[in-house]
Structure 1
Amino acid sequence: MSSEQTTDIVMGPGPAGPSSPRSLREAWVALAGLSAVFLFEMLDNSILNVALPTIGRELHASTTALQWVTGAYAVVFGGSMLAFGAVADRFGRRRIMLIGLVLLGVASLATAFVLTAAQLIAVRAAMGVAAAMTTPGSMALAFRLFDEDNLRVRAATLISTVGLVGLAIGPTAGGLVLAVAPWQVLLLVNVPIAVLAIIGVRFGVAADAPAGLHRDPVDVAGAVTATATIVLALVAPTLFVNEGAGSWVPWAATAAAVVGAILFVLRERRARHPLLALGLVAHPLVSSGLAFKAAAGLATAGLGYMVTLQLQLDWGWPPALAAIGMLPQVVVLVAGGAFVGPFVRRAGLDRAAWLSAAVVVLGLAVYALLGGFGYVWVAIALVLVAAGMRVVGVVAGVNVLRGLPENRTTIGAALTDTATEVTSGAGIAVTGTILAALFTGDIATSGWSARQTAEFRASVTIAGLVLTVVAAALVGWGIARSRRAANGQATTSGDDAMPDGV
């Protein structure tokens, strides 16, 4: 490998060119389309969850079938992101996104003709494919629109804010719609969102230049292995919660996921044209960003799961009051976007990434140690985790893309989303397993005994501390990697680990 090639790989994408927008206003058409893409992902499950009881009654769906109405989307989405990211980097990011948006519109229209739960699950799986083709590309294309990191952060903040607004208003909007319209309308709303996204991407984003595409053949074996591994990793948490830690099924799924991960690494080390060159992941900016995203995903999912159970089952709050109890997190996630840019400008990208990840861990620790002493501590924990997540969700992703070459940006965005998906599932699995091991009886029954209440509170404390330790270890490792990048040692690392031909 020549020194010139090495520099291109280590430094990542250079300036986008003299025609790059000099402000967000100049790129408003593209940003509107890319924001619509992210809105679909965040709005989709949140708006549908409120309709599950109605769907169950009208389609005569079992509890398991209802679970897969949302689960099919999440598993297909998380499992196929890496594969579609690799395809997009080879055949055109805008092209794959537009195909995915058309699929989203068609699948959403198909909702109007659904008659059974199985048909709805198939539609949801198709939407998961569409999300995998579009969501990572939204951040990758936003990154490539600009040549200044400040504008990249502001664009990513804008896109994520639009998505978080959708996440926040989804349940309320869904409830209002159900009062006057059939549940199918909740998925048909994706059609105008897809149309808006198609217009914005088609007319606001330039087609990929051939020189910016990755020309190596697709690593089919690597893609299949990666997809199977991620699917197993996403299914395992659900099996732990449903089957319990005493069943062999979730442990078998977990073991299969571990074996799959090992096989994937071996495949990528030996492949002439790997799906994901391990040397790229080893780049300090990339590995630190992934570590911070993983820590945040683990903490956020685990905390949300524990707080939901605590408010409703331990403290006996009705669902409406429990939803209000989660408002501090929602408010910070939505309103916090205004503070991301100023904070990043003051702290710098690298420092902002590890500081925000550390705040997420601090919030989880507050909950684990003090959450049982009253709601005020729960609210503080929610605010801290949301504030840290609001920053790290943008900055860590931008850092990952900064550390990648220009023709790997989409798979890099897919990698960050996959890290969040998998660790979010792991956070729920760890919590559910500890609860299953320590809590006697059916946790969903009302009227707990004093012993069961004590078991639940001990389980939550232990689960919170376990997640805190794991998340803190990820953040510590990420800090060490980011300091290595700051010290200018990335070039050696990249050369040592990079296979020829990457």
Structure 2
Amino acid sequence: MTNSPPRTAGPGRTARPGMTLAAVAVVQFMVSLDLSVVNVGLPEIATGLGFSPLGLTWVIHAYALAFGGLLLLGGKAADRYGRKRVLTAGLALFGVASLLGGFAQDPGQLVAARAAQGVGAAALAPAALAQLTSTFPSGRERIRAFGVWSATNAAGGAFGVLIGGLLTEYAGWRWVMFVNVPMAAAALALTWRGIAGGAGSARGGRTDVLGGVLATAGMTLLVFGVVRTDRYAWTSPVTLTTLAAAVVLLAAFLYVERTTTREPLVRLGLFANRNVAGANAFNLLVGAAMASAFYFVSLYLQRVLGTGPARTGAMFLPFALGMVAGSVLAVKLGYRVAPRTLLVAGGLVTATGLAWFGLISADGSFTADVLGPSLVTSIGFGLCLAPVVSTATAGVAPHEAGTASGLLNSSRQIGASLGLAALGTAADDRTGGSMTPAALSDGYALGLSLGAALLTAAAVTALVVLRRTSPPGRAVQAKTPDPVAVAD
């Protein structure tokens, strides 16, 4: 057996797959944690900096707009200019923005820092995922690597609620920003030492500037129109005009990508790949359901059951552990079961958990109404994380890995924004404006039940759209030579 040649990480360095995986895991944990850690601290942030109720929403919206609007551009930059370079720049910006946000003295400074965090995340998230894809292209190592990635992704999102509650209650809200700084520094060190450098892998050609502008403006307006539905109804002229403008810009982007003589931002032929299209559709629906589930369960615990921030965070611990367990189970099954089968099974198990959540009541309790469905939902969700990423990036050309990763991150972000706005509106309509525990629990139950329907649709999408493939173990076994024949 011959050893594979070493990969260069920089002058005088050899890339180490283990350190690459560690760097990507830290990056994903940090990004996932940041999406949830700030939410718990919002009341204290409002008090500390004097936010108005409307202005406070921009602590979330500023990040979502920058992150969602620039993901496609971030993925293309990783392909064109080099993943290590873009990942390093994104980490540096994210860390500095987190530090400045922790020191913010007025609402404008914090909102600006959150927007800068979103820009950094839009650069580092697709670059890190593309690096993972290229470092572990196939086989058992790929299954394990994506298992680690999915476990850290799951842990970051769930532990963010716990960490946010503890930091807010015992250290102060500024630490929900400061907590990112050491993680960004650690990821930078791992990236510098363990990830291969070099120029981008994209083909030469003039940059599609017009496509980049149209995609960024269209994505930003889409997210902007959706997140403001908490202020303007879906049928209001403001929302309809914003969403119509977003559709026009995105349609113009698709036209430019089909006709441009420059290097396109996204090659539309990617969507002809059923696995790419199906995995992104699956990811959008799952993102819509799960972002809403975190939101509704957190509100149910605090507003209906009267739980404080720190205890609410602690009550999400079984959810975090369940997602990690599901991710580990996906690794165990991933070598024997086709990714499509895992996605269908994981989607249906998660839908079952959310349907169980839909039975919550005003006189419920954590043990009776939250613990059981948390475990079922989280294990099912953990089963989905690695297969959807692996499916969306498998078989994609190396020079388009960043673009494919940006698309996948975009579908999740758009799904989360759309789902939270649409399901949140449905829940608010069910309550009829009442803030009584009975009305609130009824609204949250409806939102969670609709999330179960979305996950059922995701499972059907995976079953119908994704290609049937053999389990990875069979494919590897088929390629393994007969040791007797080799010896002869």
Task: Tell me which interval the TM-score lies in, with the shorter structure as reference length.
Answer: 0.7 to 0.9
Note if 1:388 corresponds to 2:380.
yes
Q: Does 1:235 align with 2:221?
A: no
Tell whether 2:317 aligns with 1:333: no
2:197 match: secondary structure: coil
Residue matched to 2:49: 59
Q: Residue 61 and residue 411 in structure 1: after superposition, are their counterparts in 2 closer, same or farther (change >3 A)?
A: same
Report the 3-state secondary structure (helix = DSSP H, G, I; strand = E; otherwise coil) of the residue aligned with 2:466: helix
- 2:284 is equivalent to residue 294 of structure 1: yes
Q: What is the rounded CA distance, in whole Å, between the counterparts of 1:320 and 1:383 in structure 2?
A: 20
Structure 2: give runs of 5+ residues left out of the alignment.
9-14, 471-488
Match for residue 225 of structure 1 among 214, 217, 224? 214
TM-score, with structure 2 as normaliser:
0.83
Which runs of 5 or more structure 1 residues have no equivalent in the other structure?
1-15, 487-502
Does structure 2 conserve the Cα–Cα contact (< 8 Å) formed by 1:363 and 1:382? yes
Change (3 A) 1:37 1:239: same
Look up the SS of the partner of 2:100 in the other structure: helix
Q: How far has the Cα of 1:122 moved from its partner?
A: 0.8
Instruction: Summarize the Cα distance change of 1:43–1:321 in structure 2 as closer, same or farther, 3 Å threshold.
Output: closer
Asked whether the equivalents of residues 284 and 484 of structure 1 are also in contact (C-alpha less than 8 Å), the reply is no
Relative distance call for 1:400 and 1:33 in structure 2 (3 A) is same
- Tell me the TM-score normalised to structure 1 length: 0.81
Residues of 1 paired with 2:186 and 2:315: CA distance? Answer: 34
- Give the stretch that moved more between structures: 94-103 or 222-231: 222-231
User: Residue 475 of structure 1 aligns to which amino acid in structure 2?
Assistant: A
Question: In terms of mean alpha carbon deviation, does 237-246 or 121-130 score higher?
Answer: 237-246
How many pairs does the alignment contain? 459
Residue 332 of structure 1 deviates from its aligned partner by 0.6
- The one-character-per-residue Cα deviations of 1:43-89 (angstroms, maximum 9, x if unpaired) are 22433333333332232222222221222112211110101111111
* 1:392–1:175 CA distance, 2 compared to 1 (3 A): closer
**Structure-1 separation of matches of 2:26 and 2:468:** 37
Does 2:112 align with 1:122? yes
Q: Give the % identical residues.
A: 30
Quick one: distance in 2 between partners of 1:47 and 1:466?
25
**Corresponding position: 1:111 with 2:101:** yes
1:398 and 2:382 are equivalent in the alignment: no
Counterpart in the other structure of 1:13: none
- CA displacement at 1:434 relative to structure 2: 1.9
> What are the superposed Cα offsets for residues 427-465 of structure 1, whole Å, 9 maximum, x if unpaired?
112212223444323x4x3466xxx57xx73x5565555
Could you say what secondary structure the match of 1:274 adopts? coil
Looking at structure 2, the residues matched to 313 and 58 of structure 1 have their Cα atoms a distance apart, in angstroms, of 22
- How do residues 97-496 of structure 1 correspond to structure 2 at under 5 angstroms? 97-111=87-101, 113-178=103-168, 181=171, 183-208=173-198, 212-245=201-234, 247-272=236-261, 273-313=263-303, 323=313, 325-368=315-358, 370-371=359-360, 376=368, 379-441=371-433, 443=434, 445-446=435-436, 452=439, 457=442, 463-464=447-448, 466-483=450-467
Contact 1:299 1:360 in 2 (8 A): no
Q: Is this contact kept in 2: 1:72–1:124, CA < 8 A? A: yes
Match of 1:90 in 2: 80
Q: Which amino acid aligns with 2:340?
A: D
Q: Equivalent residue of 1:275, what SS?
A: coil
User: For 1:74 and 1:321, how far apart are their aligned partners in 2?
Assistant: 27
**Which whole-Å CA distance do the structure 2 matches of 1:354 and 1:208 have between them?**
39
Which amino acid is 1:27 matched to?
A: P
- Letter paired with 2:398: E
| Partner in structure 1 of residue 23 of structure 2 | 33
Q: Is the 8 A contact 2:136 2:142 kept in 1?
A: yes
Report the aligned-residue RMSD: 3.2
Alpha-carbon shift at residue 316 of structure 1 (Å)? 5.7
Superposed displacement of residue 246, structure 1: 5.8
Distance (whole Å) between structure 2 residues aligned to residue 306 and residue 47 of structure 1: 16
